[in-house]
Chain A
Amino acid sequence: MKEKIILLVEDNPDDEALMVRALKNNNILNQIAVARDGVEAIEYLFAEGAYAGRDTSVVPEVILLDLKLPKLDGLGVLRRLRADPRTKLLPVVLLTSSNEEEDRLNGYGLGANSYVRKPVDFDQFREAIRQLSLYWLVWNETPPARRI
C-alpha cells in the first residue's frame, strides 16, 4: 500500500510551519509535500521541471491549496488541474485567509471540493486541520487512481 501523502501549496513559510505543527499535534504523520508557488505545484503533480522523473504513481490524497500564490495563483492551479484528465478528479481543498465571496464562488465554480478559511486563532486552526485530515485521509474514499 502506497503512503498517503498530502500536497500543501503555500508560499508563506510561517503558515507552512504552523500547518506542519498542527498536523503533527494531531498525530498525522503522513508525508507532506510542499510546493511554494502555483507553478511548482503543477510541476510536482505532472512530474515536470524540477520534479521531472518523480514517480507519478504517487498521487496526493488531497491538495491543500492557498489562493494567493506567486507566479500562478491558486485558482490558476485549480483551473489547470481540472482541465487535465489525470488530475480532474483529484480532491482539492482551498485553504486560504480570504473570505471573499468572489473567491468562494470562483473556487467552487472551478471544481474545488472544499473551501476552508484559515482562522487567526491557532487553536481553531489546529482543530480545523485535525478535522480536515481526518476527513480527507481517513473517511474520504478517493476516486480510482489514474496514472499521472
Chain B
Amino acid sequence: MEFPRHLFSSGGFQPHGFCYQWNTGLVWLNVLSDLLIALAYFGIPLILLRFIRKRKDLPFSWIFGLFGVFIIACGATHLMEVWNLWHAQYWLAGAIKTVTAAASVGTAALLVKVVPQALEIPSARQWKEANEALKKVVQEHESAEVELRLREASYREIAELLDLTHNAIFVRNLENEIVHWNEAAEKLYGWKVEEVRGRKTHDVLGTVFPKPREEIEATLFKDGYWEGELVHQLRRGGFAIVSSRWALRTDDHGKPAAILESNRDITHRKKADDELRLSEERFRLLVSGVRDYAIVTLDPEGYVTSWNTGAERIKGYSAEEVMGKHFSMFFSEEDIKQDKAGTELKIAIQQGRCEEEGWRVRKDGTHFWASVVVTALHNEKGRLYGFGKITRDITERKRAESALARKQEELAGSIAELNATNKELEAFSYSVSHDLRAPLRTIDGFSLALLEDYSDKLDAEGKKHLDRVRAATQKMGALIDDLLNLSRVTRANMRLEKVDVSSAAEEVIEELQKSQPGRRVECSIEKGLEAMADSHLLRVVLVNLLGNAWKFTSKRDSAHIEFGKTQNNGSSAFFVRDNGAGFDPAYADRLFGAFQRLHAMTEFPGTGIGLATVQRIINRHGGQIWAEGQAGQGATFYFTLQTVNP
C-alpha cells in the first residue's frame, strides 16, 4: 500500500515554513497561535469531562463526549500545523484533518438531531419559576395536613370524651350503618366498636320502637331531633330499656350527613318504677281488701281521708258517707264531750302512737268494743301529714274475756271451796281415825270385861251376843282403817321414781306366805319388771291385788297366782292372775266401787274398799285398771303405769 507508506514521509514536499519564507515573525505568530489554540482545545475536553462527571443527571451527556473528541481532533490539527512548519508530513496532517472532519460532521449532524430535544429542557428561569410554584403547592399541602391533624386530634378528644360518658352514644350514617360507637355502648350492648362498624344499627340491636320507625325518622328529618324510649337487645341476652335521643347532623351545605344517637340505660329505674307501682297497687288492694280491720287515714286535724272495706263493715258507713268528716263521729256522746278523739290524736303526736280500747258507735247506733291504734304519720322532713288508724271490733273477745274472768273467779271460788272441803275432810278423817275408834275400843273392852268378869252370870246365849258385839266392833275398826287408807292414798304426796315392781310383788307374796304358813300357793312372778311410780302407793296396789288373789284362791286345792306384764291393745299392762273364785262379769263395773263386794262376808271377809283404793292409786299415776274373770274360774286384774324411759 502506498498511503500508509507515505503517511510518515515527507514525500518530497517542502516544510510549510517555506511558504512563510521562514519569516521569523510570521512563523512564530502561527506557531504560538496554533499552540495556544491546541492548548485551549485540549483543555476544554478536560473541563467538560469534569463537568459531566459532576453532573451525571444531565441529559445528552454523550454529546459532551462527542464534543470532546471533536475539539481534541481540532487541537490535533493545530498541533499538526506547527509540526508542518518544519516537517512536511502532510499526509499525516491530512489524516488528522480527516479524523477531525469526521468528528466535526458527526457532531454537527447529531446536534441537528438533538437540539430540538434540548430546547425542551427548561431553562434555569423556567426551573426557578417552576420551583416557586412547586414550593407553593407543597406549602399549601402541608398546611392542609396540619389542619387535618388538628382536626383529627379534636375528633380523638371528642371520642375520648364520648367514652367517658355513661350514655351509649353512636354515630350512624343515613343508611343506618354504625360509624362510631363509644365505650358505654360497648359495655351496654356487649359489642366492640370494631365488630359493629358498618353494620345496620337496628339489626345489631333489634330495636323495638315505641311507634313505627318511619314516623320517628320523619320527625328526625323534619325537626332534626327525636326523643323517646327504645328497647334494645343485648349481646349477652336480655333487653335494655333506654331513654334515646337522636340528632340529625348536616354537612356544610345543610344536607343530612349522619345521625347521632345517645341512649341512657333506664332498665333498673323502669323496673323499680314498675315494682313501686306494683307494690303500691298491692298495698292499696291489701288495705282496701282487709275486712277484719278498719284501716282509715286522717288528715292532721282528724278528718277522714281514706276508708277501707273493713271500716265499712265494722262501722257501717260507706266511704262516701264519711270522707272528709271528723272521726269523732264514731265516739259515744259522752266521749265526744270529753274530746276523747282529740286526746287520741294528741297522744299519737306526742308518743308516735296511741293505743286504746273502748266503746265506739256504729252507723246504726249500736256499740262495739274497739281496739284502736292511731299512728302519727310524718313525711321525710318530719312534718305531720296525718294519722293512720286501725280499729278492730273485739266485742266478742271482750265478752269472752269477761266470761272467762267470771269463770276464773268462779273457779277460784270453787278451788277455795274445794280447799276448804279438803281441809274439812282431813279434819274429818283425823277425827274418824281418832274419835270413832275410841268408842269402839270401849265397846270391845267392856264387852270383854263382861265376858271375863261376869261369865258366871251370863248364859251361853248372853256370851254369844257379846261375841257378836265384839265382832261388829272389830269389823267397824277395820272399815274405819280401810276408809282412812282410801282417803290417805288420795291425799298422799306422790314421788315418782323407778320402781322394781317384780321385787315388790315377791316381797308381798313372802309376807302373805308368812301370815298363813300353812297355805300352799304356786306363785310365778315375772322378773325384772320396772315402772315409774310412787313406791309406797305401788306397794299398796300390790298388797291389795295379790292379797285378793291369795284370799280368793283359799278354797282351791292347787292355787295359782301369776304376776307379769302383757301386751294389751298396743300398750303393755301389768297383770295379777289367779285361779280363785273369780267374779260374774256382769258386775265387773262394780268391782272398783267403795264398799262394793261380790262375795258373801262369810265366804271371803273384806271391807270392799281395797279395789277402790287400788283404782285411785292407779288413776293418780295416770294409769288404767280393769279386770277379766268368770265366776269360779279365776280373775285377772290389769293395770298400766308409766314405763321407765331408757
Report A's interface with B, CB cutoff 8 A. 12, 14-15, 17-18, 21, 67-68, 96-101, 118-123, 125
Is B474 close to A, CB under 8 A?
A: yes
Report B's interface with A, CB cutoff 8 A. 429-430, 433-435, 437-442, 444-449, 470, 473-474, 476-477, 481, 484, 488
A21 vs B474: C-alpha distance when bound (angstroms): 20
Q: Which of A15, A98, A99, A100 contacts B441 (CB 8 A)?
A: A15
Q: Which of A14, A21, A100, A121 contacts B438 (CB 8 A)?
A: A14
CB atoms of A100 and B437 under 8 A apart: no
A132 vs B484: C-alpha distance when bound (angstroms): 26
Question: Using Cβ atoms and an 8 Å threshold, which residues of chain B touch A12?
Answer: 438, 442
A123 vs B470: C-alpha distance when bound (angstroms): 11
A-B contact pairs, 13 of them (CB 8 A): A12-B438, A14-B439, A14-B441, A14-B446, A15-B438, A18-B445, A68-B435, A96-B434, A97-B434, A98-B430, A118-B441, A122-B445, A122-B449
CB atoms of A18 and B441 under 8 A apart: yes
Question: Using Cβ atoms and an 8 Å threshold, which residues of chain B touch A14?
Answer: 438-439, 441-442, 445-446
Task: Give the residue name and chain of the B residue nearest to A68 (CB).
Answer: B434
CB atoms of A21 and B449 under 8 A apart: yes
In the complex, besides A17-B445, A119-B477, 12 extra interface pairs with C-beta distance below 8 angstroms are A12-B438, A14-B438, A14-B442, A14-B445, A21-B445, A68-B435, A97-B441, A99-B481, A118-B437, A118-B441, A120-B440, A120-B476
Task: Give the residue name and chain of the A residue nearest to B478 (CB).
Answer: A120
User: Which of A12, A119, A122 is most buried by chain B, counting CB atoms within 10 A of its CB?
Assistant: A122
Interface of B is mostly: helix
Question: Using Cβ atoms and an 8 Å threshold, which residues of chain A touch B446?
Answer: 14, 18
CB atoms of A120 and B449 under 8 A apart: no
Question: Using Cβ atoms and an 8 Å threshold, which residues of chain A touch B481?
Answer: 99
User: Which of A21, A121, A125 is most buried by chain B, counting CB atoms within 10 A of its CB?
Assistant: A121
CB atoms of A120 and B448 under 8 A apart: no
User: Which of B438, B477, B484 is most buried by chain A, counting CB atoms within 10 A of its CB?
Assistant: B438
Task: Give the residue name and chain of the A residue nearest to B488 (CB).
Answer: A101
A121 vs B449: C-alpha distance when bound (angstroms): 12
- Return A17 CB to nearest CB of chain B, in Å: 8
A98 vs B441: C-alpha distance when bound (angstroms): 13
Question: Using Cβ atoms and an 8 Å threshold, which residues of chain B touch A100?
Answer: 429-430, 433
CB atoms of A98 and B433 under 8 A apart: yes
With contacts A14-B442, A18-B442, A122-B448 taken as known, whether A97 is within 8 angstroms of B474 at the C-beta atoms is no
- Return B513 CB to nearest CB of chain A, in Å: 23
Question: Using Cβ atoms and an 8 Å threshold, which residues of chain A touch B445?
Answer: 14, 17-18, 21, 122, 125
A63 vs B101: C-alpha distance when bound (angstroms): 198
CB atoms of B433 and A122 under 8 A apart: no
Task: Give the residue name and chain of the A residue nearest to B451 (CB).
Answer: A122
Question: Using Cβ atoms and an 8 Å threshold, which residues of chain A touch B429?
Answer: 100
A67 vs B433: C-alpha distance when bound (angstroms): 12
A15 vs B441: C-alpha distance when bound (angstroms): 8
- Return A119 CB to nearest CB of chain B, in Å: 8
- Return A26 CB to nearest CB of chain B, in Å: 13
CB atoms of B430 and A120 under 8 A apart: no
A142 vs B413: C-alpha distance when bound (angstroms): 55
A119 vs B447: C-alpha distance when bound (angstroms): 15
Task: Give the residue name and chain of the B residue nearest to A19 (CB).
Answer: B445
A14 vs B446: C-alpha distance when bound (angstroms): 9
Question: Using Cβ atoms and an 8 Å threshold, which residues of chain A touch B470?
Answer: 121
CB atoms of B434 and A67 under 8 A apart: yes
Question: Using Cβ atoms and an 8 Å threshold, which residues of chain B touch A21?
Answer: 445, 449
Task: Give the residue name and chain of the B residue nearest to A99 (CB).
Answer: B433
A121 vs B438: C-alpha distance when bound (angstroms): 11
CB atoms of A120 and B477 under 8 A apart: yes
Across the A-B interface, the 6 shortest Cβ-Cβ residue pairs: A120-B477, A14-B442, A122-B445, A18-B445, A97-B437, A122-B448
CB atoms of B442 and A98 under 8 A apart: no
- Return A59 CB to nearest CB of chain B, in Å: 29
Task: Give the residue name and chain of the B residue nearest to A12 (CB).
Answer: B438
- Return B563 CB to nearest CB of chain A, in Å: 27
CB atoms of B434 and A120 under 8 A apart: no
A123 vs B434: C-alpha distance when bound (angstroms): 19
Question: Using Cβ atoms and an 8 Å threshold, which residues of chain B touch A97?
Answer: 433-435, 437-438, 441
- Return A94 CB to nearest CB of chain B, in Å: 12
A121 vs B442: C-alpha distance when bound (angstroms): 9
Question: Using Cβ atoms and an 8 Å threshold, which residues of chain B touch A120?
Answer: 437, 440-441, 444, 473-474, 476-477
A96 vs B350: C-alpha distance when bound (angstroms): 75
A146 vs B444: C-alpha distance when bound (angstroms): 40
Question: Using Cβ atoms and an 8 Å threshold, which residues of chain A touch B435?
Answer: 68, 97
Q: Which of B430, B433, B442, B476 contacts A15 (CB 8 A)?
A: B442
Question: Using Cβ atoms and an 8 Å threshold, which residues of chain A touch B430?
Answer: 98, 100
CB atoms of A98 and B440 under 8 A apart: no
User: Which of B437, B445, B476 is most buried by chain A, counting CB atoms within 10 A of its CB?
Assistant: B445
Question: Using Cβ atoms and an 8 Å threshold, which residues of chain B touch A118?
Answer: 437-438, 441
Question: Using Cβ atoms and an 8 Å threshold, which residues of chain A touch B476?
Answer: 120
- Return B444 CB to nearest CB of chain A, in Å: 5
Task: Give the residue name and chain of the A residue nearest to B536 (CB).
Answer: A101
A97 vs B431: C-alpha distance when bound (angstroms): 10
- Return A52 CB to nearest CB of chain B, in Å: 32
CB atoms of A122 and B441 under 8 A apart: yes
Task: Give the residue name and chain of the A residue nearest to B449 (CB).
Answer: A21
With contacts A18-B442, A99-B481, A100-B430 taken as known, whether A123 is within 8 angstroms of B448 at the C-beta atoms is yes
- Return B376 CB to nearest CB of chain A, in Å: 65
Question: Using Cβ atoms and an 8 Å threshold, which residues of chain A touch B437?
Answer: 97, 118, 120
Question: Using Cβ atoms and an 8 Å threshold, which residues of chain A touch B448?
Answer: 122-123
With contacts A21-B449, A120-B474, A120-B477 taken as known, whether A125 is within 8 angstroms of B441 at the C-beta atoms is yes
Question: Using Cβ atoms and an 8 Å threshold, which residues of chain A touch B442?
Answer: 12, 14-15, 18
Question: Using Cβ atoms and an 8 Å threshold, which residues of chain A touch B449?
Answer: 18, 21, 122
Task: Give the residue name and chain of the B residue nearest to A103 (CB).
Answer: B430
A118 vs B437: C-alpha distance when bound (angstroms): 9
Question: Using Cβ atoms and an 8 Å threshold, which residues of chain B touch A119?
Answer: 441, 477
Task: Give the residue name and chain of the A residue nearest to B447 (CB).
Answer: A122
Task: Give the residue name and chain of the B residue nearest to A101 (CB).
Answer: B488
A22 vs B470: C-alpha distance when bound (angstroms): 17
Task: Give the residue name and chain of the A residue nearest to B453 (CB).
Answer: A21
- Return B257 CB to nearest CB of chain A, in Å: 117
- Return A127 CB to nearest CB of chain B, in Å: 12
Task: Give the residue name and chain of the A residue nearest to B430 (CB).
Answer: A100
Task: Give the residue name and chain of the A residue nearest to B442 (CB).
Answer: A14
